Amino acid sequence: MTDRYRAPEPAVRPSPVPYDPELEPGLAAFLDLVEGIPLREHTILENRAHFETVIPSMETQAEGRAVVWEDRLIPGPAGSPEVEVTIVRPAPGSPGAALHGAGSAPGVLGIHGGGYMLGTRFFETSELIDLAERFGVVGVGVEYRLAPEHPAPAQAEDCYAALAWMADHAEELEIDPARIVVAGASAGGGLAAAVSLMARDRGIALAGQLIGAPMIDDRNDTVSSWQYDGLGAWDRNNNDCGWDAMLGADRATDRVHPYQAPARATDLSGLAPAYLEVGACEVFRDETVGYASRIWAAGGQAELHVWAGGYHGFSGFSPDATVSQAANAARDSWWRRVLGC
């Protein structure tokens, strides 16, 4: 749409940071599998349908794994529909189940990515399965409403409703209410950041927030956003499409609330300890670095990793690369510390 906001183009286009050569085959696979259909306003539904074909079913993901799972409908935000969630637990008698005493397992709210427009909760449940097996986590994957049919902050409100339900049902879920973490990547990272702001403001104490390569700034005007204009995984054009769908005519105005775009928050004090990770070669690099810097400036705790040569989603699509192994090890270290495992 011609009336949509677009950031002013810089006088000189910044040169992109080169990819780690070891990651380039994974990047090509990402682009072939995920981004075969250019993402624009008129192709959102087509991309959504394609996304669903590349996300394995929960039955497939859980097959042979030491977990049990169930789907459940829980209350949504006031005046809104119920929210569907999938609960993932360590299987009884498994090593994961033996890590914690009765009623003391950590809880993780897992929030999927997809630019706020695409994907389902099963895009995030594979991570919850890993956390259940290795750290004894009880995970909840949330099916939030998608834009543009449901503009922001519907997505964050659905995710917060799931968090509030977890906190209210901690005894039933057999989780320790003092060890609940929100986690996500890309749009899921943006929603994890938004839910963390909401939790602070509404009185739910979190143990931590994992914010992976987060989509948090609707203005799309950083140096890194221009370095990856038409280049790489989730380029600035995809990013424009997502923010247009989320915010419409409010985008880049003072009407945008931090629960819609967390980079707009003016007060980042009092937040749960944050883990932020991003590739050096992606749109979200600069807004991630800026968000971490502002948490520190407010006296908060943040651990930031910017991985050299990394594209958006590199550690998942190039798991055997040296930098991916380092990224996964750093993330595991944080999980152990924040969960007390």
Q: Give, for 60, the enclosing helix (H) or strand (E).
A: helix 58-62
Is residue 7 assigned to a domain? no
Is residue 14 assigned to a domain? no
Burial letters 83-104, b for 16+ CB under 10 A, else e: bbbbbbbbbeebebbebbeeee
pLDDT tens digits for the chain (341 residues)? 447 899 999 999 999 999 999 999 999 999 999 999 999 999 999 999 999 899 999 999 999 999 999 999 999 999 999 999 999 999 999 999 999 988 899 999 999 999 999 999 999 999 999 999 999 999 999 999 999 999 999 999 999 999 999 999 999 999 999 999 999 999 999 999 999 999 999 999 999 999 999 999 999 999 999 999 999 999 999 999 999 999 999 999 999 999 999 999 999 999 999 999 999 999 999 999 999 999 999 999 999 999 999 999 999 999 999 999 999 999 999 999 999 88
How far apart CA 45 and CA 246 sit, in angstroms, is 15
| pLDDT tens digits for range 112-163 | 999 999 999 999 999 999 999 999 999 999 999 999 999 999 999 999 999 9
Containing domain of residue 266, as a range? 21-339
Is residue 26 assigned to a domain? yes
How far apart CA 123 and CA 86 sit, in angstroms, is 12
The CATH number covering residue 45 comes to 3.40.50.1820
Is residue 98 assigned to a domain? yes
Tokens representing 164?
A: 């509030």
Is residue 263 assigned to a domain? yes
Is residue 5 assigned to a domain? no
How far apart CA 236 and CA 218 sit, in angstroms, is 11
Residues, the chain: 341
Say whether pTM exceeds 0.75.
yes
How far apart CA 146 and CA 272 sit, in angstroms, is 26
Is residue 6 assigned to a domain? no
Is residue 224 assigned to a domain? yes
Q: Do 198 and 192 meet the contact criterion of CB atoms below 8 Å apart?
A: no
SS3 307: strand
Report how far apart the first and last C-alpha atoms of the chain are (Å, whole number).
50
Q: Give, for 237, the enclosing helix (H) or strand (E).
A: helix 236-247
In total, how many domains does the chain have?
Answer: 1
